[in-house]
Homo-oligomer: A and B are copies of this chain.
Amino acid sequence: MLTSDLHQTAAILVIGNEVLSGRTREANAYFAAQKLFEKGCKLSEIAIVPDIKGDIIDTLHRLRHSYDAVITSGGIGPTHDDITMDAIAESFDVQLLEHQDTIIKLHEYYGDAINSGRRRMARLPETAKPIICEKSFMPGAHIGNVYVLAGVPEIFASQLETFLNHFGGRPYIRHEIEVSLPESLFAEALESIQAHFPDVEIGSYPRLCGKKACGKICLSAQDESLLYQAKERVNIMLNDIHSASQD
């Protein structure tokens, strides 16, 4: 792909009752978020919706018209709760068709005994390209600006790797500074540094550490030189506050 065609912004759509019911801690969006950050693609939203076709279609519609690309996770297996491919096809107003290369592979592996569940998993939306990875026979799908991946984390990760080169531009870099001051003591000074460096994203993340204040200030940017300048300013600011508080 030409650099100018790379997806600069993305959303992730997780389909899964198991996440909404608290059974499963979400892992795929977390993994993809790290990969997109490294590639320099801005992940702008994560949405987690139930295995309900209307909800998937509505959310997909909103996301794919808001961002350069959407990555979906889950709901492409053979069971009744796997309805993502149906929703994608309906969303793009195309049919689901059996992917013939996958059917051939299934015949080679299972002989003639391809059951209806396996046939179901071999369906792709018409006009979609298959996403083939090392971990599974069964394809994900790439249609328009949407990438449809499996929910099993190892398969999701393996499928994602096959098209990560469609994403990004200039990679983001992150630096973190451990802080042992209450946020309220440096909030104003940090805001003025942020105002000086609009292209560096500066966040402050406190933790509870007993009675002492602690946390991290995180800086990320695509421009390494700017990142170092901003970090230097934050370090000086923190030293000044430490010194003043010990006077």
Contacts and interface: CB of A to CB of B under 8 A. Distances in A.
Contact of A187 (B36, B117, B204): B117
A223 interface: no
Instruction: Please give the count of copies of this chain that the complex contains.
Output: 2
Interface string A1-31: 0000000000000000111111111100111
Nearest to A138: B184
B22 A152 contact: no
Given A46-B48, A48-B46, A218 B23 contact: yes
Given A18-B218, A183-B79, A45 B43 contact: no
A228 interface: no
Contacts of A125: none
A120 interface: yes
B80 A152 contact: no
A188 interface: yes
A204 B18 CA distance: 9
Nearest to A191: B80
A225 interface: no
Contacts of A203: 17-18, 51, 79, 81
Given A79-B187, A152-B208, A26 B30 contact: yes
Contacts of A220: 21
Contacts of A152: 206-208
Interface in A22-70: 22-26, 29-37, 43-51, 55
A155 interface: yes
B43 A81 contact: no
A92 interface: no
Nearest to A51: B203
B117 A188 contact: yes
17 contacts: A18-B205, A21-B201, A21-B220, A22-B30, A22-B32, A25-B30, A26-B29, A45-B49, A46-B48, A47-B47, A51-B203, A78-B187, A79-B187, A80-B187, A80-B202, A81-B203, A155-B208
A135 interface: yes
A194 interface: yes
A148 interface: no
